[in-house]
Structures are given as C-alpha cells and as structure tokens.
Structure 1
Amino acid sequence: MPPSSALRRFFVCPSHRAFTLVELLAVIAIIAILAALLIPVAGAMRKKARETRCLSNLKNAGMAFFNYQAENRDRFPPACERSTGSWRAFDTLLGYTDATAELLHCPLDEIPRVRSLRPRSYAMNDPLWQRESWPGVSLNDMDNPSRTILLSEWFVDGNTTGSESYCDLGNPGTFAHANGTAGNVLWYDGHVSQLSSASHDTNQQYYNFR
C-alpha cells in the first residue's frame, strides 16, 4: 500500500541548498576582517603580559634584596667585582628567592648578552652597593630612598656620567621600554615605576646618599 502524501512529506528529508560563490566569498571576507582586527589586539596583549612580567621580576628581585638585608645586619650585598664582572650580589640574591636566574631577565629584552656574564636585563646602582671588599650600604644611609635607584633596566657605557652605577664591562645595553624612551626602575624603598629617559637625572638618582 503506497504511503500517503502526508507520510511522504514526513519521512522525506528536505533538500539542502548549497552556498553560492558569492556567499562563500562573503564569509571569507568576514573572517579576514576579524583576523585583521584580532591579531594586533593579541599582539598588544602579549606585549602587555611581557611588560607585567618585567615589573613582577623587578619587584621579586627587590624582595630578595630586602630578605638579604633582614638577615645581614640591615646591610645590602655588594654590587660586583669590576676586574672580573662577577655579580656577587645577584648570584647571592637568587638564594633569597624561589625563582631562578630568569628572575633577572625581562621578556621584552632581546639584546644579545655576553654569555659569561649571564643574560641579565637589570643593572645595580653600584655606588650604593659598594665593592665586594666593602660592607654593604644600609637603608639608614639613604637621604631619599623613594627617589634613589636600586635596580634599573638601563646599562650605560664606561664613558657615560654615572657609569659607576653599573658593572656591565662592555655588555651590550641601553635596553628600555616604549621604543627606547623609558625603562622600569626599582627604587630603594621597594616600589617600582617606569621612568622616562627625558626625566632620568643620573646624578640625582644614583648618587643620592650621605
């Protein structure tokens, strides 16, 4: 017995209309537009994440300094041995934090470093940390801790004013954020901020101690 027309309408699947070429091109165009909008946003988000990591590393390095200070008669570690470039303070500080040497590298820093000196992105305020044969500086020695640099992302050449603030021994430098116009700074009181190169007064912020 042949099925009724109602049953035929119920069991027979409706036909599917294929996409036309124009519709496919429209979909492709929409996807391309969305990709063009999202890719720059994703890139900016990745850069922001790296900037946040750089600040976090600097803050954690500061905590290591203060942990060392608390266990060493309120003194900070000496900076470096100029004849060898040994950063005794940085090597010592890694024992006061759970982080590895990656703590001392900013993800935005892509400047090749001398392997023997380790890929550090930060420079110490060397006059304040003293040499390895001298006692470290006390926080009580500071006239203005909130405006005295402890660590900076800047490295300078040996003939630059204030070069004693650094122990780079020719290690490539001048790493900075914002297209080279600013850099992160850890101040002696423990806070971190970004300092523009235009407002970077070496004599005031590196040699500011009694």
Structure 2
Amino acid sequence: MHKKFTLIELLVVIAIIGILASLLLPVLGKARKKAQSTVCKNNLKQISMASLIYAEDNNDLAPADLDSGLANTQWPVTLSNLNYLQFNPQNGNSSYHCPQGTPFTKVWESNYALNFRFGRYTDDGTATPWNSHDDLFTIQSNHASSTLFLMDSADTQRWIWSNLTANTLYNLGTGSVARHNNFANLAYLDGHVASLSGTAILSQNGFETDFWMP
C-alpha cells in the first residue's frame, strides 16, 4: 500500500528544496562567472598572439588604426582584413566579445582594448595623427612581461589609457574594466595572460611606468 504525503510533509520537502537551491545558486553563479573569465582570457590570448604576429610582419608595430577618418580601418578590422584574426562585430561569440562585456555591433567597438602607447599617443603623451605611424612605440621592450598590451576595455572602447579612474574600473556595470569580480584580464607584451585587481590597476596611473611604456 502506497503511503500518501501529508500537506505538512509536502511543505517540508518544498522548504528543504528551497534551502538547497538558495545554497547552490551562489556557487553556480560563481562557477559561471569563472567560466566566463576563462573564455575572456582565451579571447585575449588569441587577439594578443595575432597582434604580435602582425607586429613581426610590420616592423614591430602593433595593428594601430590605419586612418581615423575612414571606415573599416580600426585595429581589429586591420587584423581581420589581413587575415590575422577574423573580426565580425555582429557575431557575439567572436574573440572580440567578452562574455561579461557590453554587447556591440559596430566596427569601431571592441570588448578588448589596446594599450594607447601602441597606436594613439607619443612618448610625451600627446596625440598622434591616426593615419601616421611614424611616432608610435614598437613592441620591443626589456620588460615585456610587465608591460600591458591588451586589456578588458571600458564599455566598448578599443583603446585603454593610463589615466584610469575608479569610475572606469568599478562603476560601469558590464562595461567596467574590472568586470570579473573586480578583476580585469590582461595580455602582456610577452604574450602571457593574467588577471589584475582594479585596485592594482589604479596604482599604475603614471603614463611613463613600465606597465604602460614598452
């Protein structure tokens, strides 16, 4: 003879399931974010390797924008057009889309940003014409393991600057640089990928430090 559950027993079972779910959901959420961070690191590895190979073929220069005044000349497009790494902003699963980044669909956007030293500013921190590579820094460095090459971008900016603020790092939601549990993923000039806390990044705000200067 089958025993029937009483209403009290049924409520107890439901309560136990609710308690277990409340305990498991945070764990599953953390596991999901960790998996997303791993995907992000893999993206950065692919982009940095493609960019370093590009530099080897182009006088040690990173794939800076070819000309700001023309469409489809941004550095991810340059890598794509020259067959180093495909860039399709409409593909949300591409290497340029971080799982925790701000969604984007435009060619001038990316969830990963190149160190401004390699395409936008000169030695004294002044602006360089975007269609001139004469004064750009090369990837040659005697401290490549500590120099930033690429990093999680602020919002969808494809360049990262040395004048980062706490607002850029923490207060932009999915667009924050430190979007992986207050850590940002970075690719260094020697090709290795790591994570750095937002606090640690804020301490690197001098534009002539080894972190920014090759």
Deviation digits for residues 34-63 of structure 1 (CA, Å, limit 9, x no counterpart): 211222222222111111111111111111
Question: Which moves more between the two structures, 56-65 or 196-205?
Answer: 196-205
- The 3 A distance-change label for structure 1 pair 87 and 121 is farther
Of 118, 124, 138 in structure 1, the residue corresponding to residue 114 of structure 2 is: 124
Per-residue deviation at 1:64? 1.0
2:113 equivalent to 1:149: no
Q: Is the 8 A contact 2:112 2:150 kept in 1?
A: yes
Quick check: 2:148–2:187 contact (8 Å CA) kept in 1? yes
- Alignment gaps of 5+ in structure 1: 1-14, 164-171
In the superposition, the TM-score normalised over structure 1's length comes to 0.69
Distance 1:85 1:205 in 2: 33
Determine which structure has more spread, i.e. the larger CA radius of gyration.
1
| Unaligned runs of at least 5 residues, structure 2 | 121-129, 164-171
Provide the C-alpha distance between the structure 2 equivalents of 1:176 and 1:84, rounded to a whole number of angstroms.
31
Question: Which is worse superposed, 148-157 or 62-71?
Answer: 148-157
Q: State the alpha-carbon separation in 2 of the partners of residues 206 and 83 from structure 1.
A: 30
CA–CA distance in structure 2, aligned partners of residues 72 and 190 of structure 1: 17
Aligned to 2:196: 195
Per the normalisation by structure 2, the TM-score is 0.68
Given that residues 74 and 108 in structure 2 are in contact (C-alpha distance below 8 angstroms), is that contact kept between their aligned partners in structure 1? no
Letter in 2 for 1:26: V
- Distance (whole Å) between structure 2 residues aligned to residue 87 and residue 39 of structure 1: 44
> Offset at 1:80?
5.7
1:76 aligns with one of 44, 49, 62 = 62
Q: What is the DSSP-based 3-state SS (H/G/I as helix, E as strand, rest coil) of the residue aligned with 1:103?
A: coil
Q: Deviations over 1:126-152 (max 9, x none)?
A: 222354421665433x23211111112
**Residues 206, 122 of structure 1: alpha-carbon distance in 2 compared, 3 angstrom cutoff:** same
> Among the aligned pairs, what percent are the same residue?
33
Runs of 4+ aligned structure 1 residues displaced above 6 Å come to: none
Q: Which amino acid aligns with 1:103?
A: S
Tell me the distance in 2 between the aligned counterparts of 1:71 and 1:64.
11
Q: 1:105–1:119: 8 Å Cα contact kept in structure 2? A: no
Tell me which residue corresponds to 1:3: none
Match of 1:104 in 2: 96
Cα pair distance change 1:120/1:56, threshold 3 Å: same
